[in-house]
Amino acid sequence: MADETARAEAEGQVAEVAAPATANPNSPYAWPKESRLLSTRVNRIDGTLKVAGKAKYSYDMQRPGMLYARILRSPHPHARVVSVDLGPARAMRGVKAALTIVQPGAKVMYVGDEVAAVAATSEDIARDAIRAITVRYEVLPFLATVEQALRPEAPAVFEGGNVKESQVEEEGNLQAGFAAAAHIVEQAYNTQVQTHVSLETHGCVCEWDGDKLTAWASTQAVHGTREGFATSLEIPQANVRVITEHMGGGFGSKFGPDVQGVTCAKLAREAKAPVHLLLDRREEHLASGNRPSAYARIKAGVSADGMLTAFDGETWGTGGAGAASGFPLPYIYAFPNRRRVHKDVYINAGQQRAMRAPGHPQGCFITEMLMDELADRVKMDPIEFRIRNLPPQAPNAMWREYFKIGAQRFGWDKRHATGDQAPGPIKRGMGCAANRWGGGGRGTQAQCEILPDGGVVMRCGTQDLGVGTRTLMAIITAETLGLPVSAIKVELGDSNLPFSGGSGGSTTAPAVSPAIRVTASKALQELAGRVAPALGVPADQITASDGRVHVKGDPSRGLSWADACRRLQTTPISVNGQWEAGLSASGTSGVQFAEVEVDVETGVAKVSRILCVQDCGLVVNQLAAESQCIGAMIMGVGYALYEDRILDRNTATMVNPNMEWYLVPGMSDVPAIDIMLMNQPERGVIGIGEPPTISTAAAIANAVANAIGVRVRSIPITPQKVLAALDGERAGGTL
Ligand code: MOS
């Protein structure tokens, strides 16, 4: 797991942006003022492996004698398990192990909840075998929708109630705020349940050697998963090794070993053979987490001169069976008088998990829609209106500036008044939205070896979720040692390597980068000590650049890297180092702009362009940081227009648990993407994984309203919702 701050951030519980730390220019390890590699565009060092299909993901692991496991899942949304008979499954040819996950007497809480599992010599046999398990259920009343759960006559499904009301958040004087308002907007907004859709599904391959377990797991935290296995299996952490060589995404849903991981390890122990247990796409949608839904009923006031005066919000949402659904609201903008109450509503569906900037896309969508509606009331340009109501500018709060440069780059002056008057069915419009995030990290350790033949190995037990961490480690090592990126061998994704925290809360780059910088610097100091006698200067007068180890300020007085390393004779340099303060920081800000085309005859909305203006402190790899923005915004397009976990209201069964009907953007849905990365080298490294996904849906939804002259206040903005909104408008509704 990530550290406490990261976890709180990941759960959307940090109400304020963490105090911005700034890098310390006096740190002995300070980032170089003139860098060769930092902030340039460096290709992934494992890119060739990946495009050639040679990178081995956990899913691809093959071990001698490996078995395949499948999990039997509940077909009922709510039931008590009366009995489980594994006998018929165990008796099948090829079945090597079977176990019960839910003990008789206990309950299953949603369709897809784990009941039992088997391991067999083939995946087909395992699938047949779970069908042979006989389970008797006592079927219980269930809740399939938020509306059902909120009814007074709803059956009591969850201990302690189906609804959990939060503390009231309050500030200022609401009554006075509304009294000062010239206009009041009262509206309702809603966001859907979104699933993570990591391309690589959850799970692992487990293998025992005596009492030692090795797990090749698809995880965002190799060390956290080691701890999870040790705790669940009651074995020492020293007996567990977790390896994640390559990974196909997690987005917040892959921190511990999970039910399937522990099940896999137990099956492998029973069968005395390696076991492969990775989920299929249906299981992935049902049981591996999601972004909870959000509903909001808001009353907000604005003064005649366009200042926000009051915000009164009642919100609710569902994180599924007994899980929370909180999100920050109002988001970013300064409402001097405000009140907010939130209710977690439980239904019989798979539980929420942290998902890329947990809570923020919901809070952003609701607030940014409201901001446009308030701007309309005072007939003010949405950007001018936003700028007027932003908190004070700071290094982690640069929205004012970003709105201005973004508007210019995007051509905001060409935005027409709301409701495109152009003839024909295609209406165009523009919208915008802002975001904030923490993105600080700490606590990572690393080890660097310099070998007598000149080789350099940098080791760190972090994991590369697919974002380019391996390359980031190589860049920083190469920069520090004055070598090309290709000269560095990187080892990561293994709990036997030096400790690093989980990759959550955009903490990886700010936790790992300083550790690598410190460790590589220490290794260089040691090498300098070995060559100092030959150069006739003290070690602290020696540096490395351009493949040479030389006297500072005089590259001609030195040795080639290879000659310097030869002086090590037979003993490599091996140093350990760790994260230090002063090289990374926390607190990002960004804004996004979207342009859409909406066909008012079919209701189909399409995003034509998006611009993201985003900072993340010192950019380590321009290419990887832009790539994070691109992926995040494509995810935001899906959130705005397509993705929706649809439960049948009569059976609480997900009707689209696949990638045919759970729609994620395809290539033809991806707009032209423009990115302005605002480099803040003086702040040190800050994470960027999450912030660029926050504002995309809000900007798109505002652009749709600007295009068609009527607001769709619920995402995904499907053709049906667009047509219904247009019909409502014709019937006399108001914008
Ligand atoms: Mo994240 S949603 O903290 O991986």
pLDDT band, residue 373 (cuts 50/70/90): very high
- Give CA–CA dist 68/278, Å, rounded: 9
Residue 6 confidence class, pLDDT cut points 50, 70, 90: very low
Amino acid at 718: T
Phi-psi region of 405 (alpha: psi -120 to 50; beta: other; left: phi over 0): alpha
Residues 237/230, Cβ–Cβ less than 8 Å? yes
Q: 204 by DSSP, 3-state: which?
A: strand
Whose CA is closest to 405, among 632, 677, 702? 677
> What is the arithmetic mean of pLDDT over 135-159?
97
- Measuring CA to CA, how many Å separate 716 from each of 164, 383, 604, 671? 26, 24, 12, 17
Say whether pLDDT at 16 is over 60: no
What are the residue ranges of helices labelled H in 500-555? 508-535
Place of tokens 């709180």: 8
**Start-to-end Cα distance in the chain:** 45
Are 144 and 650 spatial neighbours (Cβ–Cβ below 8 Å)?
yes
Task: State the pLDDT at residue 21.
Answer: 63
Q: In what order do the strands lie in the sheet with 488-491?
A: 488-491, 456-459, 445-450, 573-578
Ranges for all domains in the chain classified under CATH 3.30.365.10: 58-73+79-140+202-278, 443-578
CATH topology of domain 443-578: Aldehyde Oxidoreductase; domain 4 (3.30.365)
The helix (run of H) or strand (run of E) holding residue 544 is: strand 542-545
pLDDT value at 357 more than 60? yes
pLDDT attached to residue 728? 87
Instruction: Report the C-alpha gap between 696 and 431 in whole angstroms.
Output: 10
Separation in Å, CA 704 to CA 402, 715, 721? 22, 11, 11
Give residue 522's pLDDT: 98
Ligand 1 atom with the smallest distance to the CA of 505 is 3
Determine the Cα angle at 599 with ends 597 and 604, to 5°.
Answer: 85
Strand (E) positions, 567-604?
573-578, 588-599
Model pLDDT, residue 74? 98
Name the pLDDT band for 3 (thresholds 50, 70, 90).
very low
Question: Where do we find the tokens 């390597």?
Answer: 497
pLDDT of 12 strictly over 90: no
Beta bridge partners of 430: 595
Q: Which atom of ligand 1 is nearest to the CA of 255?
A: 4
Kindly tell me the burial class for residue 284, based on how many C-beta atoms sit within 10 Å of its own C-beta (0-12, 13-18, 19 or more).
Answer: buried
Give the model confidence (pLDDT) of 238-251 as tens digits: 999 999 999 999 99
Expressed in angstroms and rounded, the spacing between residue 327 Cα and the centre of ligand 1 is 14
Residue 465's pLDDT band (cuts 50, 70, 90):
very high
The pLDDT tens digits of the residues spanning 538-581 come to 999 999 999 999 999 999 999 999 999 999 999 999 999 999 99
- Percent of the chain at pLDDT > 70 equals 97
Mean pLDDT in residue range 79-87: 98
Residue 62's Cβ-count burial label (10 Å; 0-12, 13-18, 19+) is exposed
- Top mutation candidate among 7, 14, 327, 690 for ligand 1, by most atoms within 8 Å of CB: 690
Taking the centre of ligand 1 as the mean of its atom positions, its distance from the CA of residue 78, in whole angstroms, is 29
Beta pairing partners, 321: none
Q: What is the pLDDT of residue 729?
A: 80
Burial of 242 (0-12, 13-18, 19+ CB in 10 A): buried
Cα–Cα dist 85/63, whole Å: 30
Q: How far is the CA of 700 from the centre of ligand 1 (A)?
A: 23
The residues facing 458 across adjacent strands are 448, 490
Q: What is the C-alpha separation between 591 and 613, in angstroms, rounded?
A: 5
Question: What is the rounded average pLDDT of the residues 599-610?
Answer: 98
pLDDT value of residue 1: 35
Residue 731's pLDDT band (boundaries 50, 70, 90)? Answer: confident
Query: Where on the phi/psi map is residue 216: left (φ > 0), alpha (ψ -120 to 50), or beta?
Result: beta
CA neighbor of 95 nearest in space, from 127, 118, 114, 65: 118
**How crowded is residue 692: how many other Cβ atoms within 10 Å of its Cβ?**
32
Residue 239: partners with Cβ closer than 8 Å, 6 or more residues away: 211, 212, 213, 230
Burial classification of residue 435, based on how many CB atoms lie within 10 Å of its CB (0-12 exposed, 13-18 middle, 19 or more buried): buried
pLDDT-wise least confident of 11-25, 92-106, 599-613, 640-654:
11-25
The DSSP bridge partners found for residue 551 are: 542, 554
Nearest protein CA to atom 4 of ligand 1, as residue: 252
Q: Which CA distances in Å does 521 have to 30, 458, 578?
A: 10, 12, 11
Find the mean pLDDT for residues 17-36.
Answer: 80
- pLDDT score of 730: 79
CA distance 583 to 594: 34
Cβ of 14 below 6 Å from ligand 1? no
C-alpha pair distances (Å), 63 with each of 66, 70, 190, 194, 277: 5, 17, 47, 35, 13
pLDDT band at 5 (very low <50, low <70, confident <90, very high): very low
626: Cβ contacts below 8 Å, ≥ 6 apart = 675, 677
- Residue at 421: amino acid letter: Q
Q: What is the DSSP string of 413-436?
A: GGPPSSS---SSSEEEEEEEEEEE
Q: 129, 142, 132, 27: which is closest to 76 by C-alpha?
A: 142
Beta strands 290-291; 194-195: pairing state: antiparallel
User: What pTM, to 2 d.p., does this model score?
Assistant: 0.96
pLDDT, tens digit, 9 for 90 and up, residues 427-437: 999 999 999 99
Q: What is the mean pLDDT of residues 387-394?
A: 97
- Measured distance CA(385)–CA(81) in Å, rounded: 57
| Confidence category of residue 313, pLDDT binned at 50, 70, 90 | very high
Question: What whole-number distance in Å separates Cα of residue 470 and Cα of residue 658?
Answer: 31
- The verdict on the CB of residue 505 being under 6 Å from ligand 1 is yes
| Cβ of 10 less than 6 Å from ligand 1 | yes
Compute the distance between CA of residue 667 and CA of residue 143 in angstroms, rounded to an integer: 37
- For residue 358 and ligand 1, the question of a CB distance below 6 A is answered with yes
Q: Which atom of ligand 1 is nearest to the CA of 355?
A: 2
Looking at residue 396, the DSSP 8-state letter turns out to be T
Per-residue tokens: 201: 């599904």
| Tokens (6 digits) for 213 | 């377990």
- Is the shortest distance between the CB of 221 and ligand 1 below 6 Å? no
Q: Which atom of ligand 1 is nearest to the CA of 9?
A: 3
Distance CA 155, CA 162 (A): 9
Mean pLDDT (whole number) for 335-346: 98
Mean pLDDT of the 685-703 span = 98
pLDDT of residue 186 exceeding 90, the answer is: yes
Q: Any bridge partners for residue 302, and if so which?
A: 183, 308
Q: Taking the domain 58-73+79-140+202-278, which CATH number applies?
A: 3.30.365.10
**pLDDT above 90: percentage of residues in the chain:** 95
Q: Is 349 in the pocket of ligand 1 (CB under 6 A)?
A: no
Helix 469-481 / helix 508-535 crossing angle, nearest 10 deg:
30
CA of 220 to the centre of ligand 1 (A): 9
Q: What is the mean pLDDT of residues 289-306?
A: 98
Residue type, 466: G
Tell how far the Cα of 694 is from the centroid of ligand 1, in angstroms.
13
Q: What share of the chain is helix, strand, coil (3-state, %, to 5)?
A: 30, 25, 45
Return the pLDDT at 735: 52
Average pLDDT of the residues in 721-734 = 84
Say how many Å lie between the CA of residue 229 and the centre of ligand 1. Answer: 20
